Structure 1
């Protein structure tokens, strides 16, 4: 599993933070798990304000995440793309990944990357944070985004 070697992140104080969760709608069972994990992480961190925005598919995540950067301290993008028999998988995964990365760099707003790019539905289920799943990528995406907000605030505070 890809979770091997993951850093141990201390609990995050999210009080007063505003976070947007942008989630695709395809593969409902997987998305339900990702969203549950994301919302659990937000509750654990006691995030002050959470906005959830649903979009049709993963392709729409970058544009929706861009809109969500305004007024939010972090954005978390959740989606799943499962390989099929055409090159569509590669185009969608590459476009979404590049779009979200560029958004984070250009906006300076941390973007939690919760896009599952799997060969099979079982791989997606194993990462969705559902009962029996081996990983919880929704929770991890929120934790990464919140940790980055805290790190960036520390950098800004060190200068000021």
Structure 2
């Protein structure tokens, strides 16, 4: 969600419970990611935020799966920095696929805040620390909350029977709710 074209979201997360699951490797970087995520959740008005620390990024999917059982959204934060062995690829692929699986199996959004960087400098640039170019912790938190709010709107809409029996009009769902799409 960074860079040119990144969305500007107005989010009301006051009715949400969000769990941050955060790896422990690369403490300085992780502290920046956690601070950014926590700040973004506070700005979105999220009612309940819990932080769960785990050993490493490989453990993110399992922790996210358990967190999803009692949360409206999960923010997964970790840092993997390339070394001289294939370990980087294994951990990154397993964590990424695992987090995707958690989202699809549970229906609970998981904000993807896993930094997969070639160097520590790249990770520091994305950690939301003073002097950082990006704040991936905040971006992951905003994505998780915006998706949770959108899903609630879709569930409410389905429960009310909106658009049953075919498409009757065009609407656009966003983090602030449904609104009519502009005429074609």
TM-score range, shorter chain: over 0.9
Segments of structure 1 that go 5 or more residues without pairing to the other structure are: none
Are the counterparts in 1 of residues 2 and 139 from structure 2 also a CA contact under 8 Å?
A: no
Query: Counterpart of 1:128?
Result: 127
Shift in Å, 1:6? 4.0
Q: Which secondary structure state, in structure 1, belongs to the residue aligned with residue 89 of structure 2? A: helix
Q: Which secondary structure state, in structure 2, belongs to the residue aligned with residue 148 of structure 1? A: helix
Q: Hey, what's the Cα distance between the residues in 2 that align with 1:26 and 1:11?
A: 32
2:91 is equivalent to residue 68 of structure 1: no
Q: Which has the larger radius of gyration?
A: 2
Q: Which secondary structure state, in structure 1, belongs to the residue aligned with residue 7 of structure 2? A: coil
Listed as ranges, the matches of 1:1-160 within 5 Å are 3-160=2-159
Structure 1 or 2: more helix by fraction: 1
TM-score (norm 1): 0.96
**1:3-62 deviations in Å (ceiling 9; x for gaps):** 223432322111121000000000001001000000000110111111110001101111
Q: Which secondary structure state, in structure 2, belongs to the residue aligned with residue 3 of structure 1? A: coil
Q: Which stretch of the first structure deviates more once superposed, 147-156 or 130-139? A: 147-156
Q: Which secondary structure state, in structure 1, belongs to the residue aligned with residue 142 of structure 2? A: helix
Shift in Å, 1:86? 0.2
Q: How many residues align?
A: 159
Shift in Å, 1:159? 1.4
Change (3 A) 1:83 1:114: same
Q: Which secondary structure state, in structure 2, belongs to the residue aligned with residue 133 of structure 1? A: coil
Q: Hey, what's the Cα distance between the residues in 1 that align with 2:36 and 2:3?
A: 19
Q: Which secondary structure state, in structure 2, belongs to the residue aligned with residue 53 of structure 1? A: strand
Shift in Å, 1:155? 1.3
Shift in Å, 1:157? 1.8
Shift in Å, 1:115? 0.2
